């Protein structure tokens, strides 16, 4: 009986490096890709160059207090505000896409963890969620549905898997690595 158990565990141990990162990327695509892309779409400005001229709502989402102080006039904000909003908008499009495709997955997942942390801090301090105990939540309280502490912890945990384990076998990272190793003089890592 113990030998059968040990053999099953060995099989699980050998399959984990392929299954876990692939499953994490699938779960990210199924649950969070649409969330982040929808958020990014709300930040796009009008017209063809909307990806360079974010909507005023983008500024309100990212810099709520600065926008309020400026009377909701984006013209009163500086180039740094514009750069942060554009970078945030692009990050919401590109980083999730890179994770789903498995392209530079470790770096993209690390970037998304940073994005989620900044998003959470903006929600807490910029939008005042710190004053709302239900939105903030608490760990170890048997209520698993708070927006910030519970939900964002699950997101970050999901993103840590590809940071530590890579993209898995079904990824552009694997294709690139195989193409490099197949070149004359290429090295396999």
Which of these, 173, 161, 177, 153, lies nearest to 25 by C-alpha position? 161
Which pTM was predicted?
A: 0.88
The domain in which residue 104 lies consists of 20-182
Tell whether 154 is covered by a domain.
Answer: yes
Tell whether 176 is covered by a domain.
Answer: yes
Tell whether 7 is covered by a domain.
Answer: no
Counting the structural domains of the chain, the total is 1
Tell whether 13 is covered by a domain.
Answer: no
18 C-beta neighbours (distance < 10 Å), count = 14
Distance CA 149, CA 132 (A): 12
Tell whether 10 is covered by a domain.
Answer: no
Give the residue carrying structure tokens 């900044």.
Answer: 118
Tell whether 149 is covered by a domain.
Answer: yes
Distance CA 33, CA 93 (A): 9
> pLDDT tens for residues 81-105?
999 999 999 999 999 999 999 999 9
Tell whether 69 is covered by a domain.
Answer: yes
> pLDDT tens for residues 40-63?
999 999 988 889 999 999 999 999
State the DSSP H helix or E strand holding residue 9, giving kind and residue range, or none if neither: helix 2-28
Tokens read off for 140: 């170890």
Tell whether 153 is covered by a domain.
Answer: yes
Q: What is the DSSP letter of 118?
A: H
């Amino acid at each position: 009986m113990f030998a059968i158990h040990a053999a099953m565990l060995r099989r699980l141990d050998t399959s984990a490096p392929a299954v876990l990162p692939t499953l994490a990327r699938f779960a990210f695509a199924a649950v969070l890709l649409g969330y982040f892309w929808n958020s990014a779409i709300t930040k796009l400005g009008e017209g063809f160059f909307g990806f360079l001229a974010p909507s005023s709502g983008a500024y309100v989402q990212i810099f709520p207090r600065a926008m309020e102080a400026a009377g909701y006039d984006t013209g009163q904000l500086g180039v740094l505000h514009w750069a942060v909003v554009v970078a945030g908008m692009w990050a919401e499009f590109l980083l999730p896409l890179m994770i789903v495709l498995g392209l530079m997955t470790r770096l993209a997942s690390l970037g998304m963890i940073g994005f989620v942390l900044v998003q959470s801090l903006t929600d807490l301090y910029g939008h005042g969620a710190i004053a709302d105990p239900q939105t903030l939540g608490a760990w170890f309280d048997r209520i698993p549905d708070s927006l910030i502490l519970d939900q964002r912890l699950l997101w970050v945990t999901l993103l840590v898997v590809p940071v530590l384990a890579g993209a898995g076998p079904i990824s552009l990272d694997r294709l690139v690595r195989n193409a490099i190793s197949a070149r004359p003089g290429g090295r396999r890592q």
